[in-house]
Structure 1
Amino acid sequence: MKFIHCADAHLDSPFLGLKQMDAQIGAQLYQAPFTAFEKMIERAISDDVAFVLISGDTFDSQNQSLKVQWFLKNQFERLQKAQIQVYLIFGNHDYINDTTTHVNYPENVHVFGPSVQTYRFISQEGYKIDINGFSYDQRHIPTSRTSEYPKPAPDAKLTIGMLHGGLYGNGANDYAPFTLEALQQQGYDYWALGHIHHHQILSQRPLIIYPGNLQGRQADESGAKGFYEVNYDFDELKPTFMPVAPFQWQTLTVESPEPLNINAVVAHLQDMLIAFPRHTNFLLSIVLKANSVAKEVQEALINEQLLSILQDQLGNTMANQIIYPVSVRLMAEADMNLPEIDTKFWQANVDQVFNLKNLREVLGNLTSERFITQEFIHEDRLNELRKNAELKILNNIQEEDAD
């Protein structure tokens, strides 16, 4: 007997950190999460799995569309024809509320409510399998819910817990936080987690697994993305990760002992691309170490010309592969070594200038756009802006010294 565990499909949610995108590639990228979901469904049918576990954040309640709901309905109907059951919980992005678009899913889809409940599945082999879980009915759940899960029933061959949440202390305390020990002590055979976008096995006995998302949507969601297919054989659960994402994010860092001009930067990156596997699409996030590139490269970046140049020189849109730069940024060194007087004034004012309040004021009404808040209103963006300001100051000082 086999089953599939997936989560965080985020259908129809925007990709982050993209600009100057080729229209044709952009269209394929928009479709990528849907394609990944379809590949998962196709695998479920071809491998004749017993059921599919979907552990939350399949779509976005705030930006959901009827198109997404009909897409899901059609995919679930494909599983119904193959006599495959679906067990679905909603997470912090697709939580149930009064504005949720209601489309009737087919009878093979079992949706968990806001209280922990149990569905029993009986396999062709006669295995009694209990699947326990709950759905979010609000964006944040700051308290642990693990104590609400029932103990395994004596006649259950397997007991599975579905939970969309994060480990205590890992920045996820607003999302049904849990401890590894609490899950391990529950007596379950498998915990089907959702919420974290990187696939990882937190425990082998019992199996506690994050499948990650089906398609990475930003630069820090790099590497292969997909789901787990779990085989139950001889009383043992054996998980196998199945990549399905049409695009992978990859970060390339340019480092050199001597400053490189634009031609040298392009050649350096081309050499790095030689080792890339074929038949896989890549979105490139390029990082330039400040001391590794010449001033002309930094100016081209500031003038927003460098990305276009790299897309023309590195972009590969062959029939069987896309390799495409989507962002380029300058990384300042840890210590810019500004002159003493500049350092004194800089340190006295930097925190007053580079803070989230000022950033929101600069962006103004744009902060009402979800994309803007996700892309800009966070500490990493502030740090990047501060480092770029330091670079600008240093370049101006070097120009004055040269004069």
Structure 2
Amino acid sequence: MKFIHTADLHLDREFEGVVQKTPYRPYKILEMIIDFAISEAVDLVLFVGDNFHCAHPSIKIQSYFADQLARLAEHEIQAAVIFGNHDYYRESVYWIEFPENVTVFKQESVESATLCLKNGEKVTISGFSYKHAHIYEDKISEYPSRNLEGNYHIGLFHGEFSGNNFAPANLSDMLAKDYDYWALGHIHLANQMARNVIYPGTPQGRTKKEQTNFVVLGTLTASALETDFHDLAEIHFETLTLDLSLCDTLAQALTFIKSNLTETTAFYSLIFENYEKIAENLQEAIGNDGLIEELRQHYVIVKLRLQPLLVETVQARIVVPDFTLPAIDFAQIFTNLPPKKEIQKLLGDSDFQAEVMENLQLFASQQFDFENEDKVT
């Protein structure tokens, strides 16, 4: 038996942190997965939750999902689908009928289905779908022991091994079920918890944090399991740290920067270091967005950032005593801003808060000398 395991497609979620218009649409990853399934002549494709980013997906994206699953039927490939915490299932919001080759687990209690594959083998699949945004109780105890009548038994599980909000599980309890394979979802980074217990990660990253963009191609026989991770993503987020110490002029710096942007399907975050020779003009070009606008004519640039200089070049500096940068009270800032969800979401984002502190530290290190070894903490 040959199968593909994917999870966390989030089909209706756009790329985040990208302000440029690009020809790339993240939902296209589903077509690549279906193409891959057909080319590999698999028997089964497993979709392990968060197929959509919200619990009320648009009619258009619902139809797209169903149409792509129907393509598998032409090649006698079956699919099994569960829903996760983002796309928790409510039948009332769906405008589509799932194709006959698709087995959908719609209940929050664990169910099992035995499928007869095109090669004549039988596989039992056990799983559940979220019907609410959170599940606080352990679900593994609901899974039945291995079905000895079929050739294989696979568990579908969307949840976590830590925390309390998303069907918290224990790995030893999962392994005790003696299944041939556990297909996991919810964690967006690939992680092999055990030989046959795998998170593939999201197949198409939407942010710079989601860097392991895989699906699992698995082969089960009576005596063995083989798994391989495959990257089908069209787009990858890349963070590059560029050393500008050999750049004596702005022209040299621009040429050097562009020479490192080699991937047309990469979304770049660039960090510059050792830019002493061009510090003042480089800081100005980043501050007024001149450099990022130039680079965005040919590349997708998420952001630019300067590392603090080891040898400062700013002439007007002030020596101050031992100093610790105070924490920012983002909760207090909330009270002085319009109560808009977009603003609250931005200020509450840990990455945004960290970036604010980094920029403050950079400014302080460039403008002042500190008695405590020139370091702002």
* Interval containing the TM-score (normalised by the shorter chain): 0.7 to 0.9
* 8 A contact 2:214–2:230 mirrored in 1: yes
Q: C-alpha displacement at 1:56, in angstroms?
A: 0.7
Cα deviation 1:227-273 (Å, max 9, x = unaligned) = 11212245322112222211111110124568976444434433434
Q: C-alpha displacement at 1:120, in angstroms?
A: 0.6
Task: Determine the C-alpha separation between the residues in 2 that align with 1:9 and 1:127.
Answer: 28
The runs of 5 or more residues in structure 2 that have no matched partner are 370-377
Task: Determine the C-alpha separation between the residues in 1 that align with 2:14 and 2:330.
Answer: 22
**What residue in structure 1 maps to residue 82 of structure 2?**
89
**What residue in structure 2 maps to residue 329 of structure 1?**
305
Counterparts in 2 of 1:172-211, with a 5 A limit?
A: 172-204=163-195, 207-211=196-200
Quote the sequence identity (%).
31
1:218 maps to 2:207: yes
**What residue in structure 1 maps to residue 272 of structure 2?**
288
The runs of 5 or more residues in structure 1 that have no matched partner are 316-322, 399-403
Task: Determine the C-alpha separation between the residues in 2 that align with 1:287 and 1:164.
Answer: 36
**What residue in structure 2 maps to residue 136 of structure 1?**
130
Aligned positions, number: 362
Cα deviation 1:36-83 (Å, max 9, x = unaligned) = 111111222233221111001111225621110010111122122322
**What residue in structure 2 maps to residue 307 of structure 1?**
292
Counterparts in 2 of 1:142-181, with a 5 A limit?
A: 142-168=136-162, 172-181=163-172
Which is helix-richer, 1 or 2? Answer: 1
Give the partner amino acid of 2:149: D
**What residue in structure 2 maps to residue 381 of structure 1?**
352
1:13 maps to 2:1: no
TM-score scaled by length of structure 1 = 0.80
Task: Determine the C-alpha separation between the residues in 1 that align with 2:173 and 2:253.
Answer: 51
Q: Using a 3 Å threshold, how does the CA distance of structure 1 residues 290 and 148 change in structure 2: closer, same or farther?
A: farther
Q: Using a 3 Å threshold, how does the CA distance of structure 1 residues 375 and 111 change in structure 2: closer, same or farther?
A: farther
Task: Determine the C-alpha separation between the residues in 2 that align with 1:5 and 1:218.
Answer: 22
Task: Determine the C-alpha separation between the residues in 2 that align with 1:98 and 1:234.
Answer: 37
1:357 maps to 2:331: yes
**What residue in structure 2 maps to residue 110 of structure 1?**
103
| Most deviating of 290-299 and 209-218 | 290-299
Q: C-alpha displacement at 1:9, in angstroms?
A: 0.9
Give the alignment partner of residue 236 of structure 1, picking from 207, 214, 224: 224
Say which SS state the counterpart of residue 294 (structure 1) adopts: helix
Task: Determine the C-alpha separation between the residues in 1 that align with 2:170 and 2:18.
Answer: 36
Task: Determine the C-alpha separation between the residues in 2 that align with 1:269 and 1:121.
Answer: 54
Give the alignment partner of residue 59 of structure 2, picking from 60, 66, 85: 66
Q: C-alpha displacement at 1:162, in angstroms?
A: 0.5
**What residue in structure 1 maps to residue 116 of structure 2?**
122
Say which SS state the counterpart of residue 365 (structure 1) adopts: coil
Q: C-alpha displacement at 1:212, in angstroms?
A: 1.4
Q: C-alpha displacement at 1:89, in angstroms?
A: 0.6
**What is the root-mean-square deviation of aligned Cα atoms in Å?**
2.9
Say which SS state the counterpart of residue 339 (structure 2) adopts: helix
Task: Determine the C-alpha separation between the residues in 2 that align with 1:200 and 1:284.
Answer: 25
Say which SS state the counterpart of residue 140 (structure 1) adopts: coil
Q: Using a 3 Å threshold, how does the CA distance of structure 1 residues 57 and 333 change in structure 2: closer, same or farther?
A: farther
Say which SS state the counterpart of residue 260 (structure 2) adopts: helix
TM-score scaled by length of structure 2 = 0.85
**What residue in structure 1 maps to residue 241 of structure 2?**
253
Give the partner amino acid of 2:7: A
